[in-house]
Amino acid sequence: MRFEDQRKMIVKELIQYGIRDKRVLHAFETIPRERFVLTEYSEYAYRNQPLPIELNQTISQPLMIAIMMEHLNLSSDDIVLEIGTGSGYQTALLASIAKEVCTIERLDALSLKARNTLKSLGYENIYYRIGDGSQGWQKAFPTYTEFSKIIVSAAAAQVPEKLISQLADPGILVIPVGAHHYQSLIKITKSDGIVTQSTHGGCTFVPLIINGQ
C-alpha cells in the first residue's frame, strides 16, 4: 500500500479515537512519517505505535502526538516552543500549522539529522537549539522570551518553572508529568495572569534530562 494511502488510514484511526481538530488531522495526512523513521522500520511508519530511532530514542505514537497537539489549540499565528526535537516528525506537524516553531534537542546528532530532514522537506519556519530543554529557549535565535504554545515530549517530575515563565499570556503548555514508567498528561493554561492546570489521562514518555542528569 502506498504511503499516501497509509496516511489516510492513520487519520481515520485518529478520528475513531476522538481527534477532531481539522488542522491536526490535515497535518497527519500530509506529513510523510516514513521520512522520520529508521529505514528498517519504514514499513511500520503508519502503525499507531512508537518506533525506535537513533541513540535509543523513539518517535512517539501518532495518537499521543495528536492528543497533545489538539490540547494546544494551534493556530497560524502561534509561536511554538517544542522541547525534544527527536526525529523531527512532531516538529513538522507543528510547523505545518503554526507560524514558527523553536525546537530544542539535547542530543547533537538527533538535532542535526532532524534539521537535515526538515530542510529537505522545505520547512523554513523552524529554528533549532541544542541544549537543556527544561531551561527553555535561551541564547538562541530568534531571541524570543515567550511562546503562545509550548509542548514537551519528555516526562518531567514536575513542570519546569522556566517553561511556565516563558509561556505567553494567553498561552498553553502541554507536558507529561510523573515517574519514569507512567505519567499524566498535564495542560497548563495562562490567561489574564492566572495559571491553571488540568490532567488529561495517562501516558508514557522517556524522561526529560535536566542538566545532564
What positions carry a catalytic annotation? 60
Q: The C-alpha cell of 6 is what?
A: 497509509
Helix (H, G, I), strand (E, B) or coil at 11: helix
Dist CA 101 CA 147 (whole Å): 9
Dist CA 53 CA 108 (whole Å): 14
Would the CA dihedral through 146, 161, 101, 74 be positive or negative? negative
Q: Which residue matches cell numbers 492513520?
A: 10
